Amino acid sequence: MRDVAAIVAHLPEESATFRALNPHWEHTHSLELLRRIEYHQAIAVWFRTRDGERGVNPPEPFRFPWEPEPETPGAYRGDRMTTDEADEFLGWGHLRAV
Helix (H) or strand (E) holding 21: helix 16-21
Give the C-alpha separation, 68 to 83, whole Å.
30
Q: Which region holds residue 20: left if phi is over 0, alpha if psi is between -120 and 50, else beta? A: alpha
Give the C-alpha separation, 76 to 61, whole Å.
8
Q: What is the pLDDT of residues 15-51, one digit of tens each?
A: 888 777 777 777 778 888 998 999 999 999 999 999 9
pLDDT at 75 over 60: no
pLDDT averaged over the chain? 80
| Interval 51-79 mean pLDDT | 77
Say what the pLDDT of residue 95 is: 66
Say what the pLDDT of residue 73 is: 61
Give the C-alpha separation, 28 to 84, whole Å.
33
